[in-house]
Structure 1
Amino acid sequence: MLRFKVFRTSLQVYMTVLSLGLVLLLNMSAPAASFAAEQKISGQSVESLTRIGRALAEISAAVKPAIVNISTTRTVKITGGADPFFDDPFFRRFFGDRYGRQKQPKEHKSAAMGSGVIVSSEGYIITNYHVVKDADEIKVLLSDKREFAGKVIGSDPKTELSVVKIEANGLPTLKWGDSDALEVGEIVLAVGNPFGLNQTVTMGIVSAVGRANVGIADYEDFIQTDAAINPGNSGGALVNVRGELVGINTAIFSTSGGYQGVGFAIPSNMVKSIMDSLVSKGKVIRGWLGVSIQSITPELAKQFNLKGEKGVLVSDVSENGPAEKAGLKRGDIIVEYDGKRTDEPNQFRNMVANTSPGEEHSLKVLRNDEVITLKATIGELPADMQQAEAGAYENALRGISVQDMTADIARKLNLPARVKGVIVNDVDENSPAAGVLAQGDVIQEINRKKVGSVKEYQEITAGIKKDENILLLVFRGGSSVYITLSVK
């Protein structure tokens, strides 16, 4: 009986606790359900986002008519490889090298697509050089579906820009914006034809400005953005919130070939300067100061007793050049050009290159712990220097574009520290080296002479005769190989 009473008492306690738990659970879940049911989006939030959406739609509608689709066809030569069966040393030993000869090049038509921006109502269109390079035929499709034949008025491979002309008038255009006024964090829109999808608009921000050493062009001062840029966007517009053209979309940084959050655009101020020169003079006229400059490393800063002062170090001054006439000397540190900071060699180089020859400009220079101001009359980049930079030689290295190796490029290409030389960044299809050299190759030696810089490359290459075979030491695929180039 006692055992039964204990059991009944325990059961009563258990049921009481269970009842209290259910009550607490219901009380706790009721407010949650009520809270979920009562959640509403405030009218203020809806109104704010609606205003932003309408603003973006308004900007898109204003700029899209000036964006065109550019399609090209070009003749491509394909060199067939030797029969892999006879590449085996065992068979070559018995049948000889004749079975390892390359097949005759074959030609076929290749089609490509890109974007362009109408910047003149008379039919002048800006696009990327690689979009129209070596094109046999160019077709330009407008936003109203009209199609025109395009003609390249001029190109500047050094900045990756080309100007295309169509025979039309009264066309919609984009206003030029001031790319120098862009700030990191500003909202921008990228407009183009990715993957052939016409009039596509993506939004992002300016991630960085003044990006150089990317390895795309000789003169680099890129705007970096996270606005989605994909294949086919090349040559399209980067616009600000006022619908002004602040850049020409040029490239993406990607390991997959698609968008990965990093895109690059050529600043509009550089674009306008190049276009004006191509249209009015038929070529690009660049300013020239006549100095060799380099970055200031922490070690150099210590040697020159610099305390927080930035700038570019003058390592050489051309005889009778504008710099020498202005009083610049080796060892000077240029900290400002016309009141603008000069913290990087590429930045300073672009400033001078975009200056019209004959104009006088001020240089703020640090010399022996003293700040002085010099006046320099900018000259025109000599023709032989332009030719050397463009790889316009008559020998087997013609059509090859190279650039200095930097720590950043070496890291991206995963190059060992022992590898020194110049990086191949472009090979013209008609070059004797086409199919032999490729982008990313490192030229370490030319005819057994070491190559440590673009300047050394140019000096060695300029002295090679047009019918002379060339022996190169090239680093690729993790090892160095000797390669012979012939003009034949």
Structure 2
Amino acid sequence: HALGSGVIVNSDGYIVTNNHVIAHASDIEVLLSDKRTFKGKVVGADPQTDVAVIKVQGRDLPTASLGDSSNLRVGDTVMAFGEPFGLGFTVTRGSVSALSRSLYDPNKFESFVQTDAAINPGNSGGPLVNVRGQVVGINTAIVPGQGPGGESSFLGIGFAIPSNMVKHVMGDLVKSGKVTRGYLGVKIGPLDDKLARQFHVPDTAGALIDSVTPGGPGDKAGLKPGDVVRKADGQTIEDSSQLQTLVIDTNPGTPVTLDILRDGKPMTVRVTLGERPADLAATVVPGRQSEGALRGVTVQNLTPALRDQLGIPSSVSGVVISDLDSNSPAAQAGLQQGDVIESINRHPVESVAAFNRLAAEAKGETLLQVNRGGEGQFVVISPGGGEQGGDDESQ
């Protein structure tokens, strides 16, 4: 048995919720706030965004409209609707704490609205609503504390899928049962101060194109490595995550106008988006540190295929070094691509998210437990020089 929330978005009975709420359900029962119950049928689901659509047959169904999440600003008042802990219909109020947040899951597209409106187990799939009564997000995740019966509870950090992403996914699921996404055919990353100086960009806003896929939409339009995307269809691009979200939320075949800087000179490029390949990872290298003792180390989760390839025993858990800056302290200490980091300062590293958190705290000498080809060893990393980098994403 599982409990979640949802929102009826049109009078035909279509309900948006989270994929993780209905993923293993054999039967779905929908209870409205007016106590009516209906049998629900899954229309489609998209695990990469955690969005699902179900349908009920009913009359005089109350509906909520999907707003434009691109209009959200940090500090806006929002309300979270749902049924936390099975207690019944509940509304909590808070603010938009941040935008374009990621939890660093390489298998998902993440550009969350962060809020301090209380979200607890049972709220998943429910709406995040602005003061005009428009749904601007679908509540999906929290940073957990400890609640009744050992369940996770709210600590003031909750996340919602932005409504513009929901609109695109829902539209495709209702139309065809599957989701198609736009594809630019470039690999992008963030700008830091050093990269901005190298490419003659006045600040660190924008998305840096690291490489261009030959024959892809970006290549055909004339994009080149080193171009910095500053605007897309007139919308300012603050970082690479924002550009990724805009591209995947746009239908293939749609023309997009990009304002770029090339060696500091402004240019306009018009690209017709292709269809994103199904086997392209949501985030190629999600865990790269730009400062501290582990700067320049990029990791990914240890999958069964990588475990077999690298000869790592089943008893070992950790993250795999997928890229390593040759000037980084870790490289100078002898770490290599393919090494598995089991722990940082004696704290286990079980995921990319755990690596990001622990690595961010590693400022001084840092003790790593590393496994290479099935053999474990301890390595001490001393902070030193080295260039700084960031996350890359394929579009």
TM range (shorter): 0.7 to 0.9
User: Letter of the aligned partner of 1:407 in structure 2?
Assistant: Q
User: Letter of the aligned partner of 1:249 in structure 2?
Assistant: N
Relative distance call for 1:315 and 1:245 in structure 2 (3 A) is same
Q: CA deviation at 1:355?
A: 1.2
Root-mean-square deviation over aligned CA pairs: 3.1
User: Letter of the aligned partner of 1:421 in structure 2?
Assistant: V
CA contact (8 A) 1:323 1:376 kept: yes
The residue that corresponds to 1:179 in the other structure is 69
The residue that corresponds to 1:405 in the other structure is 287
Deviations 1:244-270 (A, max 9, x none): 111111111234321111111111111
The residue that corresponds to 1:326 in the other structure is 221
Q: CA deviation at 1:418?
A: 8.7
Flag structure 1 segments of 5+ consecutive residues without an equivalent.
1-110, 391-400, 427-435, 445-450, 454-470
Deviations 1:134-157 (A, max 9, x none): 222222222222322222211111
Deviations 1:324-368 (A, max 9, x none): 111111111111111111121111011111111112111111112
- The count of corresponding residues between Structure 1 and Structure 2 is 325
The higher radius of gyration belongs to 1
Matches within 5 A, 1:129-144: 129-144=19-34
Q: Is the partner of 1:371 in helix, strand or coil?
A: strand
Q: Is the partner of 1:285 in helix, strand or coil?
A: coil
Greater CA deviation, 471-480 or 293-302? 471-480
1:389 corresponds to 2:260: no
Q: Is the partner of 2:323 in helix, strand or coil?
A: coil
TM-score (norm 1): 0.61
Relative distance call for 1:337 and 1:376 in structure 2 (3 A) is same
The residue that corresponds to 1:423 in the other structure is 301
Distance 1:362 1:154 in 2: 31
1:152 corresponds to 2:42: yes
The residue that corresponds to 1:342 in the other structure is 237
Which protein has the bigger helix share? 1
Matches within 5 A, 1:144-223: 144-215=34-105, 218-223=108-113
CA contact (8 A) 1:313 1:333 kept: yes
Distance 2:158 2:107 in 1: 15
Flag structure 2 segments of 5+ consecutive residues without an equivalent.
147-151, 305-313, 325-337, 350-368, 375-395
Give aligned-pair identity as a percent: 44
Relative distance call for 1:420 and 1:294 in structure 2 (3 A) is closer
Distance 2:86 2:129 in 1: 20
Q: Which fold has the larger relative contact order, with Cα–Cα distance below 8 Å and residues 6 or more apart in sequence?
A: 2
Deviations 1:110-165 (A, max 9, x none): x2211111112222111111111222222222222232222221111111111112
Q: CA deviation at 1:315?
A: 1.0
Q: Is the partner of 1:114 in helix, strand or coil?
A: coil
User: Letter of the aligned partner of 2:144 in structure 1?
Assistant: S
The residue that corresponds to 2:363 in the other structure is none
Greater CA deviation, 338-347 or 140-149? 140-149
CA contact (8 A) 1:114 1:234 kept: yes
Distance 2:161 2:289 in 1: 23
Distance 2:300 2:205 in 1: 27
Distance 1:125 1:217 in 2: 24
Distance 1:273 1:186 in 2: 23
Relative distance call for 1:327 and 1:162 in structure 2 (3 A) is same
Relative distance call for 1:402 and 1:142 in structure 2 (3 A) is farther
CA contact (8 A) 1:287 1:352 kept: yes
Distance 2:174 2:60 in 1: 19
Matches within 5 A, 1:292-303: 292-303=187-198
Distance 2:341 2:41 in 1: 38
Which protein has the bigger strand share? 2
Deviations 1:84-121 (A, max 9, x none): xxxxxxxxxxxxxxxxxxxxxxxxxxx22111111122
Matches within 5 A, 1:55-454: 111-215=1-105, 218-256=108-146, 257-308=152-203, 310-382=205-277, 386-389=278-281, 404-407=286-289, 420-423=298-301, 441-444=318-321, 451-452=322-323
User: Letter of the aligned partner of 2:2 in structure 1?
Assistant: A
Q: Is the partner of 2:167 in helix, strand or coil?
A: helix
The residue that corresponds to 1:19 in the other structure is none
Deviations 1:2-21 (A, max 9, x none): xxxxxxxxxxxxxxxxxxxx
Deviations 1:412-471 (A, max 9, x none): xxx966964203699xxxxxxxxx699x94134xxxxxx339xxxxxxxxxxxxxxxxx9
